Copies of this chain bind each other. A is one copy, B any other.
Amino acid sequence: MLSRTRIVDAAIALIERAGADAVSMRGIAAELGVGVMSLYNHVPNKAALLDAISESVLSQIEFTDDPSAHWTDRVRMQARAFRQIAHHYPRSTMVVFSRQLHSTAGLLPVERALATLRDAGFEGEAAVRMLRMFVAYIVGSLLREVGVTPTFAPVRDEALVEVDPALFPEVSSLSPYLTSCDHDEEFEFGLELLVQAMAVRAEKRGARG
């Protein structure tokens, strides 16, 4: 029997195998060995299917939150959990980022994050701000890692060799670092910087309050 979850799973598998551009209702139907229109008995339209994919991916984030750990470690763990699922479904992650979601999927991650931030001493608006900043960093990082580089994080080698050292001295001299990119180290670097910056703010708040 066909079902919504079977369709979503097949769609995710197809995206990971053939890319997001290759996702068509006909392709998904073929993946499942059914007719195209059969899908519409379980999903209203393609947009809703893509939303369901987003929801599925986000809900698979594994938060093994340890309330006894120091809040800095909990922040690190949650950020890595977010990143891990994106690496598990890299191409599907792109469709998640390219869609506005109207669901409550991923509400649990937010809940956990806010609780952690409360432990760190951030409450009310400050906690929400910190959360949004963190999410922005993580999303931006994943967007780079997953393949879409907004302003070429790892620049293409061919393009760089053409760079005129006189016009772009910095880019030219730093080209070895610009062309290579260890995503793990890069992510951890920014994560650590953010955690430390948060710790500074937390101390300030603690001193004041």
Tell yes or no: A80 within 8 A of B by CB. no
| A128 lies within 8 A of B177 (CB) | yes
Tell yes or no: A140 within 8 A of B by CB. yes
Q: Given B136, B137, B141, B148, which contacts A98 in the complex, CB threshold below 8 Å?
A: B148
Smallest distance from the beta carbon of A159 to chain B beta carbons, Å?
5
| A150 lies within 8 A of B139 (CB) | yes
Please name all residues of chain B whose beta carbon is closer than 8 Å to the beta carbon of A52 when the two chains form the complex.
none
Smallest distance from the beta carbon of A76 to chain B beta carbons, Å?
15
Q: A128-B178, A133-B189, A193-B198 are in contact. List 8 more A-B contacts (CB 8 A).
A: A98-B148, A102-B156, A107-B171, A128-B174, A135-B151, A140-B143, A193-B197, A196-B200
Tell me the bound Cα distance from A143 to B138 in angstroms. 12
Number of copies of this protein chain within its complex: 2
Q: Given B109, B135, B170, which contacts A115 in the complex, CB threshold below 8 Å?
A: B170
Please name all residues of chain B whose beta carbon is closer than 8 Å to the beta carbon of A104 when the two chains form the complex.
159, 162-163
Closest B residue, CB atoms, query A127:
B174
| B186 lies within 8 A of A129 (CB) | yes
Binding site of A, secondary structure by majority: helix, strand, loop or mixed? helix
Tell me the bound Cα distance from A121 to B150 in angstroms. 25
| A135 lies within 8 A of B150 (CB) | yes
18 contacts between A and B (CB under 8 A): A58-B151, A97-B148, A100-B149, A101-B149, A101-B150, A107-B163, A110-B151, A110-B168, A110-B178, A127-B174, A129-B186, A132-B186, A133-B186, A133-B193, A136-B136, A139-B139, A139-B150, A200-B200
Please name all residues of chain B whose beta carbon is closer than 8 Å to the beta carbon of A110 when the two chains form the complex.
151-152, 168, 170-171, 178
Known: A125-B177, A136-B141, A162-B104. A114 touches B171 (CB 8 A): yes
Tell yes or no: A99 within 8 A of B by CB. yes
Tell me the bound Cα distance from A144 to B100 in angstroms. 9
Closest B residue, CB atoms, query A143:
B139
Please name all residues of chain B whose beta carbon is closer than 8 Å to the beta carbon of A98 when the two chains form the complex.
94, 98, 148
Tell yes or no: A153 within 8 A of B by CB. yes
